[in-house]
Chains A and B, each alone.
Chain A
Amino acid sequence: MMGRGLTPSQTVGPFFHGGLLREGLNVLVSPETQGERIRIEGHVYDGDRAPVPDAVVEIWQANARGRYCHPADQRPIPLDPAFVGFGRSGTDEAGYFWFETVKPGRVPFPGETLQAPHICVAVFSRGLLDGLPTRLYFEGEDANHTDPVLRRLPEDRRAALLARRLPVDGKIVYRFDVVLQGDGETVFFER
């Protein structure tokens, strides 16, 4: 193969805040955005179940109709001019992060099938020599049973990717914790 070797990853370290975080990066919606508003919140934990206070969580998702704001997605489904689908949140002292977004529509899997609604998630932190990609799925979604990615996971690990609906009045809130190591370890994917 022509071309050159990939550039290796390195940790974001503890001092990334000024470089990576800006006000509002974790709010993906504006008043004009179409779709069902949801809040996603969670904690990042280490192998001792201690909070990771210096992590960055990034998300990438389709809009409410299931269209990605990206040139590789040329399907005849409308883009939402008020939605890009990228978010970034730091974690606080409790390892807590949150996003305000919309529930994504379904997107295709190679072949005929559709994937269950999901959000791509990646975690970076001091002590992580490379980002860790994972996926967030929504608890209670019928489509989860036939999702071609979820179905490939060992059954006992699927639950780690399901965001749980929290009983909050007047708001749809999902909780998605990221466990970097040990019991209940989040399923992470190759890039």
Chain B
Amino acid sequence: MIKATRRDRDTFPPYFYQGYRATILRSPRQPLLELPHTLSERTGPGPAVSALSSEDTDLTQNMAAGGEAIGERIIVTGQVLDERGAPVPNTLIEVWQANAAGRYRHRVDQHHAPLDPNFLGFGRCLTDADGVYRFVTLRPGAYPWENHENAWRPPHIHFSLFGASWISRLVTQMFFPGDPLLERDPIFNSVPTDAARERLIARYAHDITQPRFALGYRFDVVLKGSDATPFEEPDGSVR
């Protein structure tokens, strides 16, 4: 019996998801244990690591190979918030993605699609004092994978965020609105509810779109906060 799943069951995917084959042998069978949030969980690497990180926010240029990356230029921006709605300032976001043809710059990517000599596909940004981040990139292509017959990943950008504490760490993916591949993607559909899946889809934002330059998308991210108080049982023990 495989039952590992996070407490926030309406939001987070179960570790075992039938449609996503790689979960079969990698999902824990034991339930996750509740751990009181001690100083170890209420702290975390976010503030220190973010303070030491430099930005690298233009993925159309950061290969620095002398030419321009090919594809539909986009601006991705949004706000990082905690679950109470407070901005998470000065926090590091790491992003990576396939190029416009759907190919990653990675040795195990065997997809028969061209690498772009001017596109690296990795970047980093920091949120500002209001929790706002922004980077420029290309719309990534869809690409096939081996999960099932004729399986294709919808275009997506990987996001890794630290937030303020060990508890707030999040790795996720941003998808594009109106994509017909979304309903067929087991990774996206592992998220259990429509409401939660919606939160992974960026919105087209005409106010972000820059004339004669790039289309704009808005993607906000909401991170978990640590419990304000650890839950102690009446006998002083901690669950």
Q: Is the CB of B199 within 8 A of A7?
A: yes
User: Per-residue CB proximity of B198-238 to A under 8 Å, as 1/0?
Assistant: 01100000000000000000001111100000101000111
**Majority secondary structure of chain B interface residues (helix, strand, loop or mixed):** loop
Contacts of A3 in B (CB 8 A): 81-85, 222
Chain A residues packing against B (C-beta within 8 Å):
1-20, 46-48, 50, 52, 54, 58, 60, 62, 68-73, 84-86, 107-111, 115, 118, 120, 122, 124-133, 135, 148-149, 152-153, 157, 180-182, 185-191
Decide: A20 and B96 in contact? CB cutoff 8 A. Answer: yes
Please report the number of residue pairs spanning A and B whose Cβ atoms sit closer than 8 angstroms: 253
> From B49, which residue of chain A is reached at the shortest CB distance?
A86
Contact with A along B1-28 (1 / 0, CB 8 A): 0001011100111110100111111111
Residue B44 CB within 8 A of the other chain: yes
Out of B104, B171, B195, name the residue touching A124 (CB < 8 Å): B171
- Whether the pair B84, A68 counts as a contact (CB closer than 8 A) is no
Residues on the B chain within 8 Å of A48, using CB: 25
A-B contact pairs, 9 of them (CB 8 A): A7-B220, A19-B95, A70-B48, A70-B165, A128-B26, A129-B12, A130-B171, A148-B238, A191-B167
Question: With A8-B12, A72-B39, A84-B48 as given contacts, are A180 and B171 in contact (CB-CB < 8 Å)?
Answer: no
Given the contacts A1-B84, A13-B158, A115-B40, A129 and B14 also touching, CB distance less than 8 Å: yes
Determine if A47 and B26 form an interchain contact, defined as CB atoms under 8 angstroms apart. yes
Q: Is B118 interfacial (CB 8 A cutoff)?
A: no
Q: A8-B11, A11-B187, A86-B49 are in contact. List 5 more A-B contacts (CB 8 A).
A: A4-B85, A5-B222, A9-B13, A18-B96, A152-B33
> A19 touching B23 by the CB < 8 A rule?
no
- B51 closest partner in A (C-beta): A84
